[in-house]
Structure 1
Amino acid sequence: MSAELERSALDRIELQSGADGSAAEVFEQWDARLSESYVPLASTPLPAEDFRGWITLGHYDDVDMSTIGSTPQEVRRTNGLIARANDEYLLATIQLRGRGRLHQDGRVAEVGPGTMVFYDSTRPYRWEIPDEWEMAVVQAPLSRLRELTGLADEELPTATAISRDSPAGVVARYFRELTELQNRAPEQVSLLAVPALDLLASAITLAAANRIPEQSSDALARQRVLDYMRVRCTDPGLTVDRIADGCLMSRRTLYRVFDDFEEGPAAVLRRMRVENACEMLGRDPMLPISLVASASGFLTERHFYRAFRLEKGTTPAAFRVVGATGTDGR
């Protein structure tokens, strides 16, 4: 089916490889339409024989409602894309078909048919959707939802799976049925959409009240970040910004989950690199210091010496001499 955009009542987009071009060409169109319909996004197709994608989008007073579906793909909202836009939205999706995984704020939500999940456009997130899928999407201004819920951004229940059987699941059913009606009879939706923003705010409030305590959530997020850093700490290009991007959280969230660590994530990364260097120094007494420095993630020997003395109170060479005795050289 050729690409089609109807502006009368709804925006309708339908794309399919073959009829509209090669899979690569059609996916490039899809990537652009996805960003136009929601917020700037970067999408990547996952292996499939061909590509199909569709969006039906309706605009109401304070809320946009849509149905979207496609073949498997991954969708990212990065810090770079966030910096290019000023609008702030909260999005809610109700899974209609297929399964997926949403990453945001150090949390991961597994979603299946009937599951609702929230995510914030002002912070990085990633969708992994390995199956053919379909979702109902509700998008509303964050400013209005802050007013209605009284919640701060960090209190929003992002990337938290909400089951159809929960109290907030009642609101999910309302939006699912409303988007289904929008596909069949869009002219009948406007009146029924009047309470949409208030109901969305109620669902957010209910979900926030049932979340794991923030301390537990931060502890889980911190463990995920530490695991990420341990695997990559010897990469000299690893920075606080790259850690935040890799863990799909903002710098502010990253620093918050490290509140218990003196000096924050940069200091933790430095200690990991120094500990790696200590292991190398103890393992091979003939290994050149310059090689230990570069292999541990330090850009220069000077930086390595400064970090090593800060953490161990001695030089790498002195540490190597006394290391076998079990002292730290202090």
Structure 2
Amino acid sequence: MEMMLNRIILDTERVPAADRFGLWLDMLADSPAPLRVRTEHADDFVARADTIDLGRMRLVRYRYPSLDCVRSRKLIQRSDPDYYVLALTLAGTGTADQAGQRSECRPGDFTFYDCSRPHEVSHHGEHHGPAHPSSIVAFIPYDALPLPHRRLAALFAGRMPGNEGIGALLADYLIRITGHPEQYHAADAERLAGIGLDLVSMMLGRHLVSEDVVPTEVRRQALLAQVRSHIRQHLGDTTLSPQSIADAHHISVRSLHRLFEAEETTVAACIRDQRLERCRRDLADPALRDRPIQLIAGRWGFRDKAHFSRAFRAAHEETPQAYRVRHLEQARIVNTPASVINSQRTY
């Protein structure tokens, strides 16, 4: 059985109200950057932290009552890790203050700071109302980013939008990984971390104005991630092609093909393989057993029935119909109670 991503969930509602805030403080004390916390909800601190370890990067999805946090020089002396923090506000209004810079972040905004320098962070529900603020935080070791530390100081406690360009792609990545970690395997962790770190580097580099500070390979990986995301979002579009993808990203078709040279695949193969993967998923879905195979193929961009059958058989050495029958039968056996199966046996 495949191992899932390393994940730890802390939910204070699982303990009595009087113990909830203390449990939260214990969790923060074990984090890479402990904070001093002030809140008006210490008597009943209903909060949740979902931590996902990707190796080179740790992601935490938080939900908590309104609070104010300080990382003081004394705390830094006790624990002075070489970490950056990148935070995406999901709900509520956040403020960050570090190195003389202060910013206010609303849902969809990023902020960035250095754990080895004093800073203040606040996060409150809208209009200080009852709605819980929430955020996604990435703890990133210094050496995981290929950007000069002295240059990044200009971004500490700054606001960066997460609703456009690279910022939007990074926000989608963080929301997807932390929202559905059960969909990924432990074997995916290193690759997932690499994709995330490339996107972080690209976004930070863009906000440093000079793109020259971003290594060529980081720019290539970030563009590749954008292209792959575009393909996933347009699989059902029968006009999806290398030309349409290149046009959408303002590059030449030749540049697009060069982008895939190190990926051991081609643009066309990437489109075909993702379409076949979606078709496989639908063919094996018991809820879609009555949907004609041609409709499933058409939904994912295969216009011609014969072409789809050839492509499917070349990839899986069986016809779409045979694949569907085999997987639906397996699903039926798995979902049939053992008592029913035993009653159907002949002796």
Q: Is the 8 A contact 2:80 2:115 kept in 1?
A: no
Offset of residue 156 of structure 1: 4.2
Q: Which amino acid aligns with 1:181?
A: H
2:28 to 28, 34, 59: 34
Q: Is the 8 A contact 2:95 2:123 kept in 1?
A: yes
Which residue matches 1:163?
161
2:12 matches 1:15: yes
List per-residue Cα deviations over 1:67-109 (Å, max 9, x = no partner): 1110111111111000111311001111111112111111211
List per-residue Cα deviations over 1:140-186 (Å, max 9, x = no partner): 111332xx11341663411111112343413233222222222x434
Offset of residue 44 of structure 1: 1.4
Aligned sequence identity (%): 21
TM-score, with length taken from structure 1: 0.55
- Rate the CA distance shift 1:43–1:186 in 2: closer, same or farther, 3 A: farther
Q: Which amino acid aligns with 1:200?
A: V
Q: Which amino acid aligns with 2:15?
A: D
- Rate the CA distance shift 1:48–1:84 in 2: closer, same or farther, 3 A: closer
Partner Cα separation in structure 2 for residue 198 and residue 117 of structure 1: 17
Partner Cα separation in structure 1 for residue 151 and residue 32 of structure 2: 19
Q: How does 1:199-214 map to 2 (within 5 A)?
A: 199-209=199-209
Q: Is the 8 A contact 1:46 1:74 kept in 2?
A: no
- Rate the CA distance shift 1:28–1:48 in 2: closer, same or farther, 3 A: closer
Q: Is the 8 A contact 1:51 1:71 kept in 2?
A: yes
1:155 partner SS:
helix
Q: Which amino acid aligns with 1:172?
A: A
Offset of residue 37 of structure 1: 3.0
TM-score, with length taken from structure 2: 0.52
Question: How many pairs align?
Answer: 198
Q: Is the 8 A contact 1:162 1:168 kept in 2?
A: no
List per-residue Cα deviations over 1:282-322 (Å, max 9, x = no partner): xxxxxxxxxxxxxxxxxxxxxxxxxxxxxxxxxxxxxxxxx
Q: How does 1:23-172 map to 2 (within 5 A)?
A: 23=18, 25-47=19-41, 50-131=44-125, 132-145=132-145, 148-152=146-150, 155-169=153-167, 170-172=169-171
Offset of residue 187 of structure 1: 2.7
Q: How does 1:255-270 map to 2 (within 5 A)?
A: none
Partner Cα separation in structure 2 for residue 8 and residue 198 of structure 1: 20
Greater mean alpha carbon deviation, residues 81-90 or residues 187-196? 187-196
Partner Cα separation in structure 2 for residue 153 and residue 82 of structure 1: 22
1:123 partner SS:
coil
- Rate the CA distance shift 1:86–1:200 in 2: closer, same or farther, 3 A: same
Offset of residue 133 of structure 1: 1.0
- Rate the CA distance shift 1:181–1:22 in 2: closer, same or farther, 3 A: closer
- Rate the CA distance shift 1:154–1:94 in 2: closer, same or farther, 3 A: closer
List per-residue Cα deviations over 1:218-270 (Å, max 9, x = no partner): xxxxxxxxxxxxxxxxxxxxxxxxxxxxxxxxxxxxxxxxxxxxxxxxxxxxx
Which residue matches 2:176?
177
Q: Is the 8 A contact 2:21 2:42 kept in 1?
A: no
Q: How does 1:237-256 map to 2 (within 5 A)?
A: none
Higher helix share: 2
- Rate the CA distance shift 1:168–1:138 in 2: closer, same or farther, 3 A: same
Partner Cα separation in structure 2 for residue 67 and residue 84 of structure 1: 25
- Rate the CA distance shift 1:70–1:90 in 2: closer, same or farther, 3 A: same
Q: Which amino acid aligns with 1:152?
A: R
1:195 partner SS:
helix
Partner Cα separation in structure 2 for residue 152 and residue 48 of structure 1: 38
1:194 partner SS:
helix
1:128 partner SS:
strand
Partner Cα separation in structure 1 for residue 17 and residue 178 of structure 2: 30
Q: Which amino acid aligns with 1:142?
A: Y
- Rate the CA distance shift 1:199–1:52 in 2: closer, same or farther, 3 A: same
Structure 2 gap segments, 5+ residues each: 126-131, 211-347
Q: Is the 8 A contact 1:48 1:72 kept in 2?
A: no
Structure 1 gap segments, 5+ residues each: 1-6, 211-330
Which residue matches 2:240?
none
1:52 partner SS:
coil
Partner Cα separation in structure 2 for residue 142 and residue 29 of structure 1: 29
Partner Cα separation in structure 1 for residue 68 and residue 60 of structure 2: 19
Q: Which amino acid aligns with 2:8?
A: D
Offset of residue 14 of structure 1: 0.6
Which residue matches 1:299?
none
Partner Cα separation in structure 2 for residue 126 and residue 55 of structure 1: 20
List per-residue Cα deviations over 1:110-163 (Å, max 9, x = no partner): 111111111110111111222221111111111332xx1134166341111111
